[in-house]
Structure 1
Amino acid sequence: MKLIVRWMLLAAALLLVANLYGGVEVKSFGTALIAALVIGLFNALLRPILVLLTLPVTLLTVGLFLFVINAAMFYAAASVLGDFNVTGFGAALIGSLIYSLCSMVIDVAMERMFPDR
């Protein structure tokens, strides 16, 4: 149940990103659900590999390069899906920042809604 609620909230967050920032476009809530799933899969499967491969650059930039990796995952998800569009890498960077902030708020809310025993 917790996973489904989090998925729905992340899809709503993606719609919020599209409404707040013009560089990100999501056609419908169904598209947002699929996009949230794809972003989650990319973050779970590809992001750890990219973080490991770019560790020297990440250390050199004191962790700021992780924002670029997040933007790359956001942009890659938009490239795979037809109804989820990002106008460019700069838009992906801003969109991923807003989406990450929403995700942090959702995680805090989920901890309060579904406390671990």
Structure 2
Amino acid sequence: MKIIIDILLMGIIMLLAAYLVPGVQVDGFGTAIIAAILIAITNATIGFILRVLTFPITILTLGLFSFVITVLMILLVDAMLDGFHTAGFWSAALLAIVIAIMKSIFGVVAKND
């Protein structure tokens, strides 16, 4: 049940973030859920492999390169999924930041309940 709630919450976060970030478009709630799932899957698979391979660069950049990999995974999902579009690297980067902030806020609120 918790997984379903997390997926629905991530869909809502994706819709809100797309509304707030210029250059990001999500066609609907279903597309937002699919985009959130695909971003999570690509981060867990391809993103993990890239993070392992680029670990020295990540250390040298104090973790910033890991963020770049996350942005690249968002751009990959943009290329794979119709109905989810970003205007480029900077829009995807801002989307990643907004999603991270929203997830943190919702996480704090959920722990207080």
TM-score strictly above 0.5? yes
Q: Which residue of 2 aligns with 1:49?
A: 49
RMSD, matched Cα: 1.3
Q: Which residue of 1 aligns with 2:96?
A: 96
Alignment of 1:1-117 (within 5 A): 1-113=1-113
- Asked whether the 8 Å contact 1:10–1:106 carries over to 2, the reply is no
**Letter of the structure 2 residue corresponding to residue 20 of structure 1:** L
- Structure 2 alignment gaps of length 5 or more: none
**Letter of the structure 1 residue corresponding to residue 27 of structure 2:** K
For residues 81-117 of structure 1, the C-alpha deviation after alignment (integer angstroms, 9 at most, x for no partner) is 010001101111111111121222333344455xxxx
- The DSSP-based 3-state class of the residue aligned with 2:63 is coil
1:46 shift after superposition: 1.5
- The DSSP-based 3-state class of the residue aligned with 1:22 is coil
* Cα separation, partners in 2 of 1:44 and 1:6, compared to 1, 3 Å: same
- Asked whether the 8 Å contact 1:6–1:110 carries over to 2, the reply is no
Percent of aligned positions that are identical? 37
- The DSSP-based 3-state class of the residue aligned with 1:85 is strand
- The DSSP-based 3-state class of the residue aligned with 1:46 is helix
Size of the aligned set, in residue pairs, is 113
- Structure 1 alignment gaps of length 5 or more: none
| Separation (CA, whole Å) in 2 of partners of 1:41 and 1:107 | 20
| Separation (CA, whole Å) in 2 of partners of 1:18 and 1:28 | 10
